[in-house]
Amino acid sequence: MSQTFALAIHGGAGTIRRSALTPEIEQATHAGLARALEAGSLILRDGGSSLDAVTAAVCALEDEPLFNAGCGAVFTSAGRQEMDAAVMNGADRRAGAVAGLFGPRNPIRAARAVMEASPHVMMIGEAAARIAREAGLPFEEASYFFTQNRWDALEETLALRARGETSSDAAVRHGTVGAVACDRHGNLAAATSTGGMTGKAPGRVGDTPVIGAGTLADDICAVSGTGHGEVFIRYGAAAEIAARMRHLGESLDAAADHVVHRVLAPNDGSGGLVAVDRHGNVALPFNSEGMYRGHVRSGEAPVTAIY
Ligand code: ASP
């Protein structure tokens, strides 16, 4: 148990206009990312598992209203919140995912309950909530999940839509949180959680809970994505990175860059991802103006960034 550990996280990608980011929000964003890095790296430092580390990091991000997941989730066109999340353990490829979920304080823990307490990989809606309830996870009332700026973003999106327009500010429309880690044993894990896209149709499911699209961990790499979910699904974004490394022998950097800039970008797939390999290398590419992100490796100081 000597190997390097590494953790990389994101809090969503998009057109994060500098003008819209007040110094207070910028500072709070860095602080939120730093708290998530701390939550995950505490576990990795002591020899804990990558699975526990990504779960802890994503829980911290879900508890931060600035990000579009958990208590900061965006609203559907019907004014409700439907959350998606997935977690995957690279060593044995066990995975759990939830879609269209409302109620559990931390959807990522509901995804983990699906993985650990059911024979299934993906559960939706009320059936997913039931598994979370049976696992004893905390639930919250609607008021806990309400944030005024997400509600304002929905009203703005619906008003634009009524005029046949869409917002040029992708960050208003979406976001997601995620984490990938390599622990001291060389085991990899990935976790992703989202409210989806503002004004999405009720029942719409994005790439986040789709294993191989927005979330993947195997024995080669772990990937968590954020961006235009439909494109991540159609191009199997996360699985494509693993396949390039496995079959072409590409490095993590080369494979992740290829998918973000050569596969997703030309196909209306704005966004980015965080990825880690079993040697503790990290990659955090994005093709949007910014991506809330951070990473830490054993023996190095944590880094957080937006642009
Ligand atoms: N990928 C998420 C979704 O499509 C949204 C995002 O990451 O911005 O649901």
Give the chain's mean pLDDT: 95
How many residues are recorded in the chain?
307
The answer to whether the CB of 226 is under 6 A from ligand 1 is yes
- State residue 147's pLDDT score: 94
- Residues 35/64, Cβ–Cβ less than 8 Å: yes
Name the percent of the chain in helix, strand, coil, to the closest 5.
40, 25, 35
Amino acid at the residue 30: H
CA 120 to ligand 1 center in whole angstroms: 23
> Does the pLDDT value for residue 219 go beyond 60?
yes
For ligand 1, what atom is nearest to the CA of residue 214? 1
CA distance 256 to 272: 9
The answer to whether the CB of 41 is under 6 A from ligand 1 is no
- What confidence tens digit (pLDDT) does each residue in 142-198 have? 999 999 989 999 999 999 999 998 776 655 566 899 999 999 999 999 999 999 999
* Best mutation site among 62, 150, 197 for ligand 1 pocket (most ligand atoms within 8 Å of CB): 197
- Residues 235/269, Cβ–Cβ less than 8 Å: yes
Global pTM value: 0.96
What is the percentage of the chain residues whose pLDDT exceeds 90?
90
CATH architecture designation of domain 6-305: 4-Layer Sandwich (3.60)
- State residue 206's pLDDT score: 97
Structure letter (DSSP) for residue 3 = S
User: How is the chain split into domains, by residue range?
Assistant: 6-305
Q: The tokens 């991540």 sit on which residue?
A: 232
Known catalytic residue: 208? no
- What confidence tens digit (pLDDT) does each residue in 63-101 have? 999 999 999 999 999 999 999 999 999 999 999 999 999
- State residue 272's pLDDT score: 97
Query: 287 pLDDT band (50/70/90 cuts)?
Result: very high
- Residues 97/78, Cβ–Cβ less than 8 Å: no
CA distance 6 to 303: 12
Contacts of 215 (CB under 8 A, 6+ apart): 86, 87, 88, 95, 97, 178, 190, 191, 192, 207, 208, 209, 223, 224, 225, 238
